[in-house]
Amino acid sequence: MVLRQAQDLDLRGEDFLRRALTPAPPSLTFLALFPTKSLPGGGLWDQLSQTAVTVDCAPLRGTALRRYLKDLFAQEGVSVEEEALQLLVSLVGEELPRLHQEQEKLVLYLGSGGGHVGGELVERMIAGHRMHSVFELTDALGEKNLGRSLTLLHRLLAQGAPPLQVLHLLARQLRLLLEIKALKPKGAPAGQVARVLGVPPYRLEENYAMANRFTAVELARSLLRLQEAEMELKTSDHSPRRVLEGFFLDVHSPGL
Alpha helix locations (H) across 1-42? 11-20
pLDDT in tens, 61-108: 888 999 999 999 999 999 999 888 887 887 777 788 888 988 998 999
Distances (CA, A) of 64 to 71, 81, 136, 169: 11, 15, 33, 22
pLDDT in tens, 227-246: 999 999 889 889 999 999 99
What totals of helices (H) and strands (E) does the chain contain, helices first?
Answer: 13, 4
| Fold entry, domain 129-251 | Zinc Finger, Delta Prime; domain 3 (1.20.272)
Distance of CA 239 to the CA centre of its chain: 20
User: Per the confidence metrics, is the pTM higher than 0.75?
Assistant: no
Domain boundaries, the chain: 2-49, 62-127, 129-251
Of 15, 18, 42, 41, residue with least CA distance to 30: 18
| Fold entry, domain 62-127 | Helicase, Ruva Protein; domain 3 (1.10.8)
3-state secondary structure of 112: coil
pLDDT in tens, 122-146: 877 876 656 667 778 888 888 888 8
